[in-house]
Amino acid sequence: MTAPRRRQLVTFTVLTLAVASFTLLQSLIIPVLPLIQDHFDTTQSTSTWVLTAYLLSASVCTPLLGRIGDAYGKKRMMVIVLVALAIGSLMAALAPSIGWLLVARVVQGLGGGVLPLSFGIIRDEFDDQRRGRALSIIASLAAVGFGVGIVLGGPIVEVLGYAWLFWLPMIATAIAALGAAFLVPESPVLTPGGIPATPAVLLAAWLVCLLLPVSQGNVWGWTSWPVLVLPALAVVLLVVWIVVELRADVPLIDMAMMRRRGVWTANLVAAGVGFGMFAAFGFLPQLLQTPTEAGYGFGATTTESGRLIAPSALASFLVGFVTAQLVARLGARTVILTGTLLNGLAFASIALFHDQTWQLYAAITVQGIGGGLVFSSLANVVIASVPAHQTGVASGMNANIRTIGGSIGSAVMAAIVTSSTGVGGFPLERGYTVGFLVLAGAMFVAALASLRIPDIRAVDQEAVEDSTDLADEPADASPAAVPVTSR
């Protein structure tokens, strides 16, 4: 094995461990929230902040840290992010109170930078022959981790105890941080200029105003004044943020970049698929755990219901190994379109056929294949559509938009499922039927958006660097990348 190939393999191993640790923390606690509520003797509304705090922190930090990595070095920021993630996990494992745990979850949210930084490092370090496959596997792993976390949450608590939900990721993250510090080479390109403070504050403000009421709507009430006012304020702040970015000499996120066809189409698809996938993974275990006395459901335990997600996670991960070849042969548009349609068919199947567990296993496996095709392809589309020095911020925004879509999808699903209750206070079956049909509809909308995905096989990278993209859009006003000679 040649030295460059060996270095790429080592780098890829470190990035895989880093991404796996972060993505598991997204969902490990979802199936055990009732246990956390009992552990800290708190209320259900307070325990939901364990998810909300992490979501808000990750949503704000993901694009910011991607941009900082582009400017100051991806390896350097990767080490900092992984150390912060390990510290946050340590704080959570030792948390003496729910308030301490919430602070720890905010610190863990800094791990959102792992995804855009990993994509950027792969683009910088991997040759053309291996770059596409590496990006596909890392991207699919990011999607798979959410499902695997739901599968593992229950067994970890039952066998090792609650604190090991955080000890295990902390150990893995600490190892990844050491690997990144000593084994991953420094970024070969940097974007000159600092990080503009005003756009960063405005980005954080509109994201918080959007996601806070979405994630807390069931607790506060969908007609309460915060839920009605904050989204409107988010729209105003979004408009102000865009205006400020357009006028900035060195923008935080280049709006010309966001207008590239490969970027905006990938973002639309990410939002749609995130809308469906996060909501489905959140509510399928609840469907299985519903007692049969309610007229549906299987009375499954937390661990048993979590196993339902395993086929999806496995299928998504395996698909990631072949997606690059499929994209090279068929084109990204065809692969992503197929993936969104498979997701839509899977959710429609769950809505209409959920009397037997085999029906759910079959549907969730199809969903896993579709999800793997989509997520492992989107990263390639985004990265192929922007100059190298914008890789971090572009992929960070794509990951962030997927999270935003997932948050909205989960809130919509919760509102539909809980709109009416039956025996024992459990939701009526029709709530799940309507909810999963809505998720299927979102997938078909994403399929329409995927029809505008460009064929990245035709991308001339030199043209991208010169800011001439596939759609002949306006020239990119970003400053040129500065090569780094020290390795």
- φ and ψ at 322, to 5 degrees? -115, -5
Query: Computed over its alpha carbons, how large is the radius of gyration of the chain?
Result: 21
Cα distance from N-terminal residue to C-terminal residue, the chain: 21
Model confidence at 459: pLDDT above 80: no
Model confidence at 3: pLDDT above 50: yes
Model confidence at 464: pLDDT above 50: no
CB atoms within 10 A of CB 64: 24
pLDDT of residue 445: 93
pLDDT of residue 141: 80
Using 50, 70 and 90 to split pLDDT, how confident is the model at 30? confident
CA atoms within 13 A on the CB side of 467: 16
What residues contact residue 81 under an 8 Å CB cut-off, 6+ apart? 65, 110, 111, 113, 114, 117
Nearest CA among 71, 48, 445 for reference residue 252: 71
323-344 pLDDT tens trace: 888 888 888 999 999 999 999 9
Q: Are 341 and 274 in contact (CB under 8 A)?
A: no
244: its two tokens: 């400020």
Among the residue ranges 172-176, 293-297, 301-305, the one predicted with the least confidence is 301-305
154: its two tokens: 């229950």
Distances (CA, A) of 263 to 389, 470, 474, 487: 15, 11, 14, 30
215-256 pLDDT tens trace: 778 778 888 998 899 999 999 999 999 999 888 877 878 888
CA 411 to chain centre: 16
Phi-psi region of 161 (alpha: psi -120 to 50; beta: other; left: phi over 0): left
Using 50, 70 and 90 to split pLDDT, how confident is the model at 457? low
79: its two tokens: 């080490």
Virtual torsion, Cα 168, 142, 64, 58, nearest 10 deg = -50
Among the residue ranges 121-125, 213-217, 377-381, the one predicted with the least confidence is 213-217
Average per-residue pLDDT for the chain: 83
pLDDT of residue 88: 94
Show the 3-state SS of the chain. CCHHHHHHHHHHHHHHHHHHHHHHHHHCCHHHHHHHHHHCCCCHHHHCHHHHHHHHHHHHHHHHHHHHHHHHCHHHHHHHHHHHHHHHHHHHHCCCCHHHHHHHHHHHHHHHHHHHHHHHHHHHHCCHHHHHHHHHHHHHHHHHHHHHHHHHHHHHHHHCCCCHHHHHHHHHHHHHHHHHHHHCCCCCEECCCCCCHHHHHHHHHHHHHHHHHHHHHHHHCCCCHHHHHHHHHHHHHHHHHHHHHHHCCCCCCCHHHHCCHHHHHHHHHHHHHHHHHHHHHHHHHHHHHCCHHHCCCCCCCHHHHHHCCHHHHHHHHHHHCCHHHHHHHHCHHHHHHHHHHHHHHHHHHHHHCCCCHHHHHHHHHHHHHHHHHHHHHHHHHHHHCCCHHHHHHHHHHHHHHHHHHHHHHHHHHHHHHCCCECHHHCECHHHHHHHHHHHHHHHHHHHHHHCCCCCHHHCCHHHHHCCCCCCCCCCCCCCCCEECCCC
CA 79 to chain centre: 20
Burial of 46 (0-12, 13-18, 19+ CB in 10 A): middle
For tokens 């461990």, the residue is 17
Model confidence at 458: pLDDT above 80: no
Model confidence at 456: pLDDT above 60: yes
Q: Which residues pair with 190 in a beta bridge?
A: 482
